Structures are given as C-alpha cells and as structure tokens.
Structure 1
Amino acid sequence: MVDQKPRSIHDFATWEPVLRLLRAGDAEGQAARSVRVAGRIGRHGWSLPLRRRLPPPGRAAQTEDMRDESDAVERVQHALADIGVDDVSFTAEISPTGKVALRLLGPSPAVEPGIGTPHPGAIILVEGAVPEPWRRLPDPVPGAAPAPTADRDLLERTLRERLPGAIGATEAEITTAEARLGITLPDELKALYRVTRARWEDWGDDYEAAERESTAVGCELFALDDLYIADASSRHCRWEFAAKEAVVTPPDAAVQGLVGSPGWIVFGDNGGGDRLAVDLTPGPQGHTGQIIMIGHEGNVGASLVADSLTDLIANRHSRRHGSSGQDQPPAVAHVNIRSMPSVEAAAHPGLEVLSIGVWDSVPLSLAPVTALPRLRTLAAYPGTLADPLQIAELTGLEFLELGPQEWRVLLDAGAVPRSLSAAAITVHGNQDPLPIVAIANELLALWDRPQIIQTVLEGNLGAAR
C-alpha cells in the first residue's frame, strides 16, 4: 500500500524507500564501502539501477514482482505531481553506517530530460528555439491543381448511398470548424462532412455503425470538431533527434518532405496511429487536395495515398511514386565504421547534418567541412575528433553534440560556437552525472539560461541488516 500522506520532493522521507531499495540492490560489500547510485524518476516512468527478481520458470513477469519498487517510486511521483514537475534526476552516496547524501539535479526549463539516464538531455541555449526542419515552411508550387478525379458531387452521392441515415454537419458547423482551424476546408472535405459529422453520440454507442462508417470512408474518420492542422508543431521530437533530420523534396515528388505543413488537414487515422490528411501544399508533381499519410514512427515527410478524397472513397489508391532523391549527395551523412569511410566522403555543399559515430582508426579532421554553407548540425562520438577546436570554424552550427572531454576543450578555450541554439553531451556507460551537469551549467551560463539546480538532502537509513 502506497503511503498517501503528502510529502515534499525535498523531504528525505519521500526518497527513503527508493534509497533503501538501491542499497539493498548493491548488497555485495556494502558493509565495507559506500554505495554510489544515480537514477531518474518521472511522473510517467523511471530508471533505477536495480536488478529485478526473475519470475519463476514458466511464468511471465507480473506487476507484483516489482511491487516494492513501484510503491517506492510512486511516493516520489506524487511529490513531483504536487509541484507540477515532470521528472528529477538524482545521485546518492550511502555510507556503511547508513548516512546518505542525496543530491537532486534540476529540473531546468532549458534542459530536456535524458532518456533512461540521470544525465541531462538536450540543452536549449536559445529560448523557444526549434531545429531547422521544424522551421521549414512549404515551398510554393505554381500551377498545382486538384486531380481530375476530384468530384465532390460524386463523393457525396457515394457516401449517402453507403451511409443512409447518417447525421451530417450543418453549414454553420462547417463554418465554425473553418474559423477554429483558420483555413477554408476544401470542397471534397466539406462534402464528406455534409454526409456525416462523425460524432460518437450520433451513433448512440452503436459500434457497428462506427465500423460501417470507417469502411465507407476508408479510414477511422475524425469528428468535424477534431480536425486539426498537422503543422510542424504537431510532430513533437526531441532536439537531439530533430536536429539530425533534414527536409528534402526531390523535383518529381508528389509530397513535400516536410515535418508538417499549414496545409495538411488531418481528418482520420488508419487504425494503427498513422494520420490521413488532405494536402493543400503538394510537392512539385502532386495535386492540391491529394490524400497523404503521416506516419507515427517517422519525424519527417508523408506518403501519398490517393490523388483525391474521391479516389480514397472509391478505394482507388495512387500508384504514383517519385524518386527518393538517392541520386543526390545526402543532406544527412553518417561517418562510422559501417557507413561513410571519411569526412571527405561526406563533404558537399548541400550537407546539413554530419554525425560521426564509432570509429576505430585515427581521429578525424573537420577541415573538409569547415567551409560548407549549410552545415548546421555536428554530432561526434567521444574521441573521434583530431582537434575539437576546429569546431570554432563551423560558423553556421545550430546544434552540437560532443563528449565531455571535447566540450571541456571548447569551454576552456572560449571556443564554443555562439551560433548554437542547442547542444548535447554524449555520455556512455555509468559516468558520474555531476561532472556532466557541471558542463551543462557552464554552457547554460554562456547564454544566461536557467541552470540545473542542485539540492542536497541528508538523512540516515541506519545500518544495513
């Protein structure tokens, strides 16, 4: 049973059950030495260095197998919820006598939480900054027009035959939706909602009616009130991943390779989390009003489904496929032991992102990319750079990801690029979070951004039994 008594996140008693579990999990030799642990607890998950008990042979793991852990964590989660904080990292040193020095790290509004680690995630150096692909708007396509198959009258007749008795939206309801979205709905989409507004209450909890509608339309149709614009802000992505994406639209593409667009009107789902949208900002070889699918597993781009909403209703999927652009040098290059063999091989005027991964040869020079006009992201695995100070010559960087030693070189030389909007510190293994937090705070100080606050709590667990 979880103790429901309200406790502060800065109350040692809030953390005591977690600390006891961590000490017990490091039982070997704990009587003779101090135990050092670190972890992260968030309102929706946690990462603790615990070895969980294996279930009996032939039985899957169950909630009860980790009840002590979940109860201990929930006490901290309740305290986080009370102050409106999503997560907190911590380190702790537990002496053989049970004396504890617990250090809470953050949070900071300028730092994203790490993933499954107590180390900080991306460091946002410019308030409100987003990566370049998330700032990209659609290119104009002069002459773009609806497909010849677009036929609002045929669409409406077909749906009325398939959905007799469906309750359609009124003109006033359609006008209200347009005002909410700030966009005029295309004729085909208006025709669809004049047949059915897709509200659950209109079906009277009739699941078969909902299924018939999905079959008739060709997707799980959203209610008129739930239409939304899939602009870039609707596609959330962490900075360290988003900065490594690139927007590329080949000249024969039907769909622009965007993160999102003010002309993508989402109206349905394929049942697997992928969104269907009417595309009012097509690619060079696309049609205004074509139907695209925005995948839930990708961060950039969408795929063409049908040339028109009429085609989707008629189950006529498009067979048009543009090129992938693979005949052009990539805007995103990966140099490592299995991909590109050198920085020289990656260098070309259109390069935007350079990621240097695991490398088993001599460290690499950045000289081949120092004059590239579009290079905005550099991520380098620790120990792969021959001279980190060459980074100072990359004057267009907006995101930089390096190991702690490389950051130390730049900071000590006063050579951190001032063009940066965000940064990240690559940490491998169980490195002490405190030196990493110190580097993060030095970077934040350069831009006068909120620091990762450290709070020390002291207490005593008593001697281990």
Structure 2
Amino acid sequence: MVDQRLSTASIGDFATWEPVLRLLLAEQARGHVARPVRVAGRIGRGGWSLALTRRMPQPGRAAQVADMREELDAVERVQGALAAAGVDDVSFTAQVHQTGKTVLRLLGPSPAVEPGIGTPHPGALILVDGALPEPWRRLPEPALGAAPAPSADLALLERTLRERLPHAIGATEEEISAAESRLGVPLPDELKALYRVTRARWEDRGDDYEAAMSECEAVGCELFDLDSLYVADAASRDCRWEFAATKAVVTRPDAMVQGLVGSPGWIAFGDNGGGDRLAVDLTPGPRGHTGQVIMLSHEESIGAELVAHSLTDLVLGRFDSEPRPRENRPPVVARVNIASLNSIQAAAHPDLEALSIGVWDGAPLSLALVAGLPRLRTLTAYPGTLADPLEIAELTGLEFLELGPEEWRVLLDAGAVPRSLSAAAIEVHADQDPLPIVAIANEILALWDRPQIIQTVLEGDLGPLA
C-alpha cells in the first residue's frame, strides 16, 4: 500500500469528513455494534454510496429533499473538497475506537483504476494504458456490394418534407460542408436532402414548442441540428471494462446490421424521444442497405436494430425490423451458474470468447476443458467456484480476468498471473474490508508498473458516542 497525502488541504482535513463519519456511526449504533467499528463508503463528484437508512416519508407524502438534508449537507461538503482538488472519486474506510479516536483512510484515486460500483472496493484495474476490450476495438467488416435501398427516393423525400414543413429554414451547402468536415465523413444524399429542407435549429422555430413537435412528426424522430450530428463509433458508447469484456461482436451471414459496438459509418442524426439514437448506417451487414436507418438503444452497449431501409422509408412511416432467428450454434459468451449452463463442458467450444462462472452450489469447477481454446479472452469466476485457480495459467489468450481475493492470492503467490492481461478485477462481497482488497489490487498493478491506489491516512477524534 502506498502511503501518500493528497495535495489539497480540504480533502486531507479530517473535519471535511467528520459529518459523513458521524452519520455512518449513528447508523451502526442502531445495530448496537460494539466498538471499535469499521465504516466505509465512496463519494464522487457525481454521486455517492453510503450505508445509510433513509427515513421513509409519511404515508401519502412523496419523499422530500428535507428528508435527507443531513446526508446531503455532509456529502456536499466532501464533494466541494473533491472539486477543489480536481479529484473525481474517492473511497474511504475508517476505524473508530471506543474512545472516539478515529483512523480514516482515503483510498485513491489512481488513473489505472475504475471506481467501484456501489462499494468502496476498486473497480477494474487497467493494466495496459489506453487498453480497450476487444469488442470496442472491432471495426466493421467491408460492406461489399452494398447499395442504397430501392425505396431511397431523394425527390420524394424532399417533396414530402417541404409539404409537411413549409416554413422550415434549410441548411446551406456551406453549412452541410462544414458538418462533413467536422465529422470527417461525407453525409449520405438522403441526409443532405433532409437538412436542405430543415436545419433543425431551435432558434429557427422561434422557441415554438408546437413547431418543434410538428417537425418531429414530419421527420419521424427528434432531429438533431447539423452541429449535433455525431459519428456513433465505439468511443461514443462508453462501458466499464468488467461489463464490456463480457460482450462479443456477432454478425450473422444474413444480418442487415453488423453487431458492432459502434462504427465510423454510423451517423447519429436523431432521437426517438426515449434516449435511443437513430443513425444512418453506411457500413451495413451482409444483407443490409447503405443508408439504412438503425437505432442504438440507450439500454444496450453493443449492437443496433434496423428501423427502416432508407431515410425515405422513415419519413413515410414505412418501418421495418430485422427478424431474430433462433441461435443453433453455441454462444460465444457463456455463463455457467445455477440458472444458466450447468457445466464447463456445456460452455466449451472453439468459438468461445468469454466465460463467466457465477453463483454455484456444486463442487468447484475445473477449467481444463477450456484450456487452449483459441478465442477465449475473458474469464470471470465468482469466489470459491474454481477447483484450482492455477489452471488459469493454461489460458494463454486472456485479456481480462476477474476473480475473488483468495483466487488472486493463489496466482500472486505462485507468480502465475497471466501476462496477457490488459485489465483485471477483484470480485468481493460488499461488506469486506477494503484495505486487503486494495493491497491485492496494488500487487496486481505493480506487476505492470501501473500507478498504485494511494492511501491517505487521517486521524481525528469523534468523541465517545452514547
């Protein structure tokens, strides 16, 4: 563990944290926990995770800010200090003795560690600077022979839009060219025809909400203005390493849309009103059309769905979708647990890319059947599910590994941590002491000479509590 002080005095001031610690101690007192006690949590500039029970509002009354004012005041005090320090997120753990003497340890930050989710434990450890999971590195396959759909009709599209939007202000050729230069890709003809009718700027409508609604109805979506168009590539679809590593790009030979995270040929131009983005697809699947309209769900981090074969179809309300055939081949992402696959044998096949072993009530599992699989790049295993963690040494193509602390201890002591890894994670129960977990994380980071999770030790006195 690195013992290092954060540079900003307010973060390194025990008084900054005292209100949060008192709230957590009061929560502990409800359970009559004997001293010394350990409390932990995480506070970031955009949110926090503290083990506090919030008061329920009276029946018939909605929850009010006043109901959690004490918590908000305590957290905002820390958040202000984080902002002043330029720190996004800090986990902490504190031990409070019977006398009130308190040792508070701030854990982080490290540029090589993602924040944990709802716990003070570290998230994914980025072992290779700038590393991305395989699906986020995948580029589209060439759309050989792809062409616009027969339904794409520039004249019909423009005529229909002008009839529906007679007072709209269209974009100039200079404005369209500027958008193309910014995006680094030519706009397809249908999209240019649309913007020649309306450039979709709010100020052009005179802040008229009804006019905006009319435009949505005329186009078939909430249209972005030219300055808001963006390329929906993989970088635009952010996802945490531990989730992204368990995804896979799969495109069937008869697919209309490639099963990508994103593409340099997906130009997002609108929203369906529910947070899902509509894009023109210039890199279609094997059976798709250049310029087809697809939807990127805000609830998914990979893939897109066909909406219409052309922008003309979208405007005319001729929607379509891609059928979802039943998969007859083994999945490239396999989950072995009490509710899914019931053995490693059922998951093992040459195309397997990601294997996740979850909650398991049988004997610990052997990894012998997946050793040597050519495409296996991700393994996650719930604590206690592996018969022999050292079998992981035979998985020579892993780029992501998530294990419990005891399994990591076996690999570290044996010098058997796979050197092929780009990222790693430690699976822990929420109530585990963060300090031993951080120590293991720092051992793993040290193998790649990555920045450590720093520890800032603060001491104070909360006084004896009744």
Same-fold call, TM > 0.5? Answer: yes
1:348 matches 2:349: yes
14-23 or 400-409, which moves further after superposition? 14-23
- Which residue does the alignment assign to 1:455? 456
Aligned partners of 1:359 and 1:339: how far apart in 2?
A: 10
- Which residue does the alignment assign to 2:175? 173
Q: How does 1:137-286 map to 2 (within 5 A)?
A: 137-286=139-288
Quote the offset at 1:32 in angstroms.
5.4
Quote the offset at 1:35 in angstroms.
1.8
TM-score normalised by structure 2 residue count = 0.96
Aligned partners of 1:31 and 1:298: how far apart in 2?
A: 42
Equivalent in 282, 293, 296 of residue 298 of structure 2? 296
Quote the offset at 1:29 in angstroms.
7.9
- Which residue does the alignment assign to 1:22? 24
Give 1:203's aligned amino acid: R
Question: For residues 224-264 of structure 1, what are the alpha-carbon distances to aligned partners after superposition, in whole Å with 9 as ceiling and x for unaligned?
Answer: 11100000000000000000000000111000000000000
8 A Cα contact 1:273 1:295, kept in partner: yes
Question: For residues 149-182 of structure 1, what are the alpha-carbon distances to aligned partners after superposition, in whole Å with 9 as ceiling and x for unaligned?
Answer: 1111111111011100210000000000000000
Closer/same/farther in 2, CA of residues 19 and 162 from structure 1, 3 Å limit = same
Aligned partners of 1:63 and 1:165: how far apart in 2?
A: 45
Closer/same/farther in 2, CA of residues 100 and 317 from structure 1, 3 Å limit = same
- Which residue does the alignment assign to 2:398? 397
Aligned partners of 2:30 and 2:211: how far apart in 1?
A: 62
1:53 matches 2:41: no
- Which residue does the alignment assign to 1:381? 382
Question: For residues 182-213 of structure 1, what are the alpha-carbon distances to aligned partners after superposition, in whole Å with 9 as ceiling and x for unaligned?
Answer: 00000000000000000000001011111110
Aligned partners of 1:284 and 1:182: how far apart in 2?
A: 25
Give 1:104's aligned amino acid: L
* SS of the residue 2:103 aligns to: strand
1:359 matches 2:374: no
Q: How does 1:95-106 map to 2 (within 5 A)?
A: 95-106=97-108
Closer/same/farther in 2, CA of residues 373 and 57 from structure 1, 3 Å limit = same
Quote the offset at 1:30 in angstroms.
6.6
Question: For residues 385-430 of structure 1, what are the alpha-carbon distances to aligned partners after superposition, in whole Å with 9 as ceiling and x for unaligned?
Answer: 1000000010000000000000000000000000000000000140
8 A Cα contact 1:250 1:323, kept in partner: no
21-30 or 439-448, which moves further after superposition? 21-30
Question: For residues 69-92 of structure 1, what are the alpha-carbon distances to aligned partners after superposition, in whole Å with 9 as ceiling and x for unaligned?
Answer: 110110000000111111100000
8 A Cα contact 1:278 1:292, kept in partner: yes
8 A Cα contact 2:137 2:234, kept in partner: yes
Give 2:120's aligned amino acid: P
* SS of the residue 1:201 aligns to: helix
Quote the offset at 1:338 in angstroms.
1.4
181-190 or 28-37, which moves further after superposition? 28-37
413-422 or 19-28, which moves further after superposition? 19-28
Aligned partners of 1:428 and 1:274: how far apart in 2?
A: 34
8 A Cα contact 1:31 1:96, kept in partner: no
Aligned partners of 2:354 and 2:186: how far apart in 1?
A: 37
Aligned partners of 1:318 and 1:40: how far apart in 2?
A: 46
Closer/same/farther in 2, CA of residues 100 and 309 from structure 1, 3 Å limit = same
Give 1:16's aligned amino acid: E
Question: For residues 337-371 of structure 1, what are the alpha-carbon distances to aligned partners after superposition, in whole Å with 9 as ceiling and x for unaligned?
Answer: 11111101101110000000111111111011001
Aligned partners of 2:33 and 2:173: how far apart in 1?
A: 76
- Where does structure 1 lack aligned partners over 5 or more consecutive residues? 1-5
Give 1:235's aligned amino acid: R
8 A Cα contact 2:305 2:322, kept in partner: no
- Where does structure 2 lack aligned partners over 5 or more consecutive residues? 1-7
Aligned partners of 1:209 and 1:350: how far apart in 2?
A: 52
Aligned partners of 2:281 and 2:33: how far apart in 1?
A: 66
Quote the offset at 1:141 in angstroms.
2.2
8 A Cα contact 2:305 2:321, kept in partner: no
- Which residue does the alignment assign to 1:3? none
- Which residue does the alignment assign to 1:89? 91
Equivalent in 32, 40, 43 of residue 41 of structure 1? 43
Aligned partners of 1:356 and 1:53: how far apart in 2?
A: 38
* SS of the residue 2:28 aligns to: coil
- Which residue does the alignment assign to 2:418? 417
Aligned partners of 1:244 and 1:29: how far apart in 2?
A: 39
- Which residue does the alignment assign to 2:5? none
- Which residue does the alignment assign to 1:444? 445
Give 1:22's aligned amino acid: L
Aligned partners of 1:227 and 1:14: how far apart in 2?
A: 43
Aligned partners of 2:36 and 2:57: how far apart in 1?
A: 30
Quote the offset at 1:60 in angstroms.
3.1
8 A Cα contact 1:359 1:384, kept in partner: yes
* Count of residue pairs brought into register by the alignment: 459
272-281 or 6-15, which moves further after superposition? 6-15
More relative contact order, 1 or 2 (CA 8 Å, 6+ apart): 2
Cα root mean square deviation, aligned: 1.3
TM-score normalised by structure 1 residue count = 0.97
- Which residue does the alignment assign to 1:464? 465
* SS of the residue 1:25 aligns to: helix
Aligned partners of 1:293 and 1:31: how far apart in 2?
A: 52
Closer/same/farther in 2, CA of residues 32 and 295 from structure 1, 3 Å limit = closer
Give 2:373's aligned amino acid: L
8 A Cα contact 1:254 1:322, kept in partner: no
Give 2:268's aligned amino acid: V
Aligned partners of 2:365 and 2:25: how far apart in 1?
A: 43
Aligned partners of 2:164 and 2:113: how far apart in 1?
A: 52
Give 1:206's aligned amino acid: D
Give 2:361's aligned amino acid: D
23-32 or 179-188, which moves further after superposition? 23-32
8 A Cα contact 1:252 1:322, kept in partner: no
* SS of the residue 2:298 aligns to: coil
Give 1:39's aligned amino acid: G
Quote the offset at 1:48 in angstroms.
1.1
